[in-house]
């Protein structure tokens, strides 16, 4: 990282309107437009598919192992984000790991409240099993809300008696709908993108009157025994730092192999800015190495 790279990204993030000042349709449009500017691997092939009523997108490169895949669940506080907004992150991660990726457009709040995204994630995973992928060759991944959703998915699979995947990758996961991490306050001035106020808004749209302590909503509070190895990447400068630390501790206490990386002074999900930020490229490379190690 150069100081100049980091400053450019933080200046860019501080120049956009605060999420709390935008409507949900405006947030969705802005993030999709931003995602359209991200460079994709030159040799990537995209294929749009449907899983029931859900839209999804396969990506693959010529060197991808056809038997290994990453099911990716985008971030966006359960209210925005899409296959389009995260296409660059997902395809570059898949290319570096040498695996196929399936990015899922799960249903969003407030139109579709909890537990709709969990149900959709399970449907996406069942689709992979139906396509003949061995569970140990599947990884699930996600960032922010999608990172929490990846853990919630694995809990739901285990509880339903389905085989869990071979590994999980969680980037700055949001795992606590009670919003009780100390970093919600201690990192508030350092995080240009996420705030406790905005997470409270999104939580209200998503959970509504449902139980915030349900493990499918707050996997931090669930039984994590029997889950596969998990890699967590988070920045020291974000309000979700304590979510990452606490879920890593809970996983370790449940005898789950967990690898926690804390990257200093990065914005939330800095992987999205890999075109501009060398740390974004390095984090993707290390995450890809974990996936190669676990599912190829």
Q: What percent of the chain has pLDDT over 90?
A: 92
- Active site annotation includes 238: yes
Query: What total of structural domains would you count in the chain?
Result: 1
User: What domain range includes position 273?
Assistant: 3-295
CATH number assigned to the domain comprising residue 250: 3.40.50.1820
Task: Check 144, 183, 218, 235 and give the catalytic one.
Answer: 144
State pLDDT tens for residues 109-163: 999 999 999 999 999 999 999 999 999 999 999 999 999 999 999 999 999 999 9
State pLDDT tens for residues 250-274: 999 999 999 999 999 999 999 999 9
Q: What is the pLDDT of residue 285?
A: 98
Contact 188, 196 (CB under 8 A): yes
State pLDDT tens for residues 188-216: 999 999 999 999 999 999 999 999 999 99
State pLDDT tens for residues 26-73: 999 999 998 988 999 999 999 999 999 999 999 999 999 999 999 999
- Active site annotation includes 60: no
Task: Check 57, 205, 238, 279 and give the catalytic one.
Answer: 238
Q: Supply the Cα-derived Rg of the chain in whole angstroms.
A: 17
Contact 184, 241 (CB under 8 A): no
Residue given tokens 């994709």 in the structure block: 40
Task: Check 74, 237, 268, 271 and give the catalytic one.
Answer: 268
- Active site annotation includes 268: yes
Contact 184, 154 (CB under 8 A): no
Alpha-carbon gap, residue 19 to 94, rounded angstroms: 29
Phi, psi of 12 (to 5 degrees): -60, -45
Alpha-carbon gap, residue 270 to 279, rounded angstroms: 8
∠266-38-165 over CA atoms, to 5°? 75
Phi, psi of 46 (to 5 degrees): -110, 145
Question: Which residues lie closer than 8 Å to 46 by C-beta, 6 or more apart?
Answer: 57, 58, 59, 87, 91
Cis peptide before 178 (omega within 30 of 0): no
Q: pTM of the predicted model, to two decimals?
A: 0.97
**Helix H segments across the chain?**
3-15, 24-35, 87-97, 116-130, 145-159, 183-186, 196-207, 241-253, 278-295
Residue 102 three-state SS:
strand
């Amino acid at each position: 990282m150069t100081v100049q790279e980091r400053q450019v990204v933080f200046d860019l993030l501080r120049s956009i309107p605060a999420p709390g000042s935008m409507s949900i349709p405006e947030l969705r449009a802005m993030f999709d437009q931003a995602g359209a500017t991200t460079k994709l691997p030159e040799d990537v092939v995209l294929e749009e598919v449907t899983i029931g009523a859900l839209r999804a997108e396969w990506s693959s490169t010529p060197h991808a192992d056809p038997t290994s895949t990453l099911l990716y669940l985008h971030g966006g506080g359960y209210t925005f984000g899409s296959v389009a907004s995260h296409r660059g992150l997902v395809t570059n991660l898949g290319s570096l790991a040498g695996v196929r990726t399936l990015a899922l457009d799960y249903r969003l709040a407030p139109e579709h409240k909890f537990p709709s995204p969990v149900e959709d994630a399970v449907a996406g995973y069942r689709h992979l099993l139906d396509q003949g992928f061995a569970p140990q060759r599947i990884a699930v991944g996600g960032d922010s809300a999608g990172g929490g959703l990846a853990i919630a998915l694995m809990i739901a699979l285990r509880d339903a008696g389905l085989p869990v995947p071979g590994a999980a990758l969680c980037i700055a996961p949001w795992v606590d709908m009670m919003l009780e991490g100390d970093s919600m306050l201690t990192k508030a001035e350092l995080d240009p993108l996420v705030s406790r106020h905005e997470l409270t808004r999104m939580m209200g749209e998503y959970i509504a009157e449902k139980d915030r302590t349900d493990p499918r909503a707050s996997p931090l509070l669930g039984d994590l025994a029997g889950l596969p190895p998990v890699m967590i990447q988070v920045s020291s400068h974000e309000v979700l730092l304590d979510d990452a630390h606490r879920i890593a501790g809970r996983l370790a206490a449940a005898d789950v192999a967990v690898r926690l990386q804390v990257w200093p002074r990065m914005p939330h999900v800095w992987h999205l800015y890999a075109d501009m930020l060398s740390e974004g490229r390095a984090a993707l490379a290390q995450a890809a190495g974990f996936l190669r190690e676990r599912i190829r």
